[in-house]
Amino acid sequence: METKPIDGKAFAAGLRARIAEEVAGLKASAGLTPGLAVVLVGEDPASQVYVRNKAAQTAEAGMASFEYKLAADTPEADVLALVAKLNADPAVHGILVQLPLPAQIDANKVIAAIDPAKDVDGFHVVNAGRLAVGLDALVPCTPLGCIMLLKHHLGSLSGLKAVVVGRSNIVGKPAAQLLLKEDCTVTIAHSRTRDLPAECRTADILVAAVGRPEMVRGDWIKPGATVIDVGINRVPKDDGKTRLVGDVAYAEAQGIAGLITPVPGGVGPMTIACLLQNTLTAAKRQKGLA
Ligand code: NDP
């Protein structure tokens, strides 16, 4: 069987272009410029790269980008005060506080302080709860991107057996909720799951969100299954440099999976595109346009 790669990079570029078009339309018709505020506390190098990319892509989509870079020793109260200010700012429709936060700041407290209507990361319990009970919610960006790729390539997901490996609040749990919403039969697997390979082999759709390089082997995959590899793992190469690999052994999946997202270039690029989508959705809802 030929295994086809899912080109997340191209899909994300298309999505960003559609978002930019809608933003231009909103400006012209309603005088609305969606605004995204990103708060970065400290100097974590990976977070700095993410925040830079988010700001650049926000501006490219024609949205307003507000960046707040705070020192690593910023007290929790100051971050909460900034969130309160952004909650009240009508030019800001989406608020994202980059995680992880330094130890003196309780991330749960900060997330809880964000107005759920502006919670474009979808991490607030109100949004998690709304998703769980089937109400309109702001949905975490990475799982939203996974579902978009799946629907684009498979059409209806109804009745398919989905196995999600990983149960984090950021990826695994919301991915499972979204698959359930698409009428999949969903299993959530995790570190205590018995016979994980056998569970995975039941999946028409296999989502790996674990954070362990190439843990999912070729013979864990049902022939013809669609594999969504969320993992981003940096591993050493022979020449002393590093390379990125997913949670799935990509080479082993060839000839077994029907479709698979590569790493990099699969799920990764969808995350920021979905952040822009969420900011647009949040702006429209706040203006009563959606
Ligand atoms: P977490 O560490 O929060 O969660 C990992 C999950 O994997 C946990 O539920 C854990 O189970 C489970 N797990 C760990 N080891 C095993 C094992 N041996 N067998 C079965 N399950 C296991 O990670 P995240 O959900 O935040 O991220 C997962 C991966 O996705 C990471 O590689 C991360 O870098 C990547 N990621 C990529 C993004 C993107 O933009 N593409 C965005 C976010 C994350 P338990 O709960 O039992 O401990």
Residues involved in catalysis: 54, 98, 121
Q: Which domains does the chain have, with CATH numbers?
A: 31-118 (3.40.50.10860), 141-268 (3.40.50.720)
Which residue's CA is the closest to the ligand 1 atom numbered 39?
Answer: 268
Question: SS3 breakdown of the chain: % helix, strand, coil, rounded to 5?
Answer: 45, 20, 40
**CA-to-CA dists, residue 27 to 90, 150, 283, angstroms:** 15, 31, 12
Q: Whole-prediction pTM value?
A: 0.97
Exposed e or buried b for every residue in 16-38, given b needs 16+ CB within 10 A?
beebbebbeebeeeeebebbbbb
Secondary structure of 182-207 as H, E, C letters: CCCEEEEECCCCCCHHHHHCCCCEEE
Per-residue pLDDT tens for 21-69?
A: 999 999 999 999 999 999 999 999 999 999 999 999 999 999 999 999 9
Cα separation, 67 vs 55, whole angstroms: 7
Q: What is the secondary structure of 262-290 as a DSSP string?
A: -TTTSSHHHHHHHHHHHHHHHHHHHTT--
Q: What is the pLDDT of residue 62?
A: 98
Contacts for 89 with CB less than 8 Å, ≥ 6 apart: 37
Q: 176: CA distance to ligand 1 center in Å?
A: 13
Tokens of 182: 């698409």
Q: What is the pLDDT of residue 93?
A: 98
- pLDDT for 286 beyond 90: yes
Per-residue pLDDT tens for 140-173?
A: 999 999 999 999 999 999 999 999 999 999 999 9
Contacts for 77 with CB less than 8 Å, ≥ 6 apart: none
Per-residue pLDDT tens for 104-138?
A: 999 999 999 999 999 999 999 999 999 999 999 99
Q: 211: CA distance to ligand 1 center in Å?
A: 4
Cα separation, 280 vs 23, whole angstroms: 7
Cα separation, 228 vs 260, whole angstroms: 6
Per-residue pLDDT tens for 237-260?
A: 999 999 999 999 999 999 999 999
Contact 234, 213 (CB under 8 A): no
Specify binding-site residues for NADP(+).
166-168, 232
Which residue's CA is the closest to the ligand 1 atom numbered 48?
Answer: 191
Q: What is the pLDDT of residue 186?
A: 98
Specify binding-site residues.
166-168, 232
Cα separation, 29 vs 47, whole angstroms: 35
- pLDDT for 81 beyond 90: yes
Rounded to the nearest integer, the mean pLDDT of the chain is 97
Predicted confidence band of residue 290 (pLDDT cuts 50, 70, 90)? confident
Cα separation, 266 vs 10, whole angstroms: 9
Q: What is the pLDDT of residue 98?
A: 97
Predicted confidence band of residue 1 (pLDDT cuts 50, 70, 90)? confident
Cα separation, 144 vs 188, whole angstroms: 17
Question: Does residue 100 have a cis peptide bond before it, meaning omega lies within 30 degrees of 0?
Answer: yes
Q: What is the pLDDT of residue 253?
A: 98
Q: 267: CA distance to ligand 1 center in Å?
A: 14
* Average pLDDT of the residues in 192-209: 98
Question: Does residue 143 have a cis peptide bond before it, meaning omega lies within 30 degrees of 0?
Answer: no
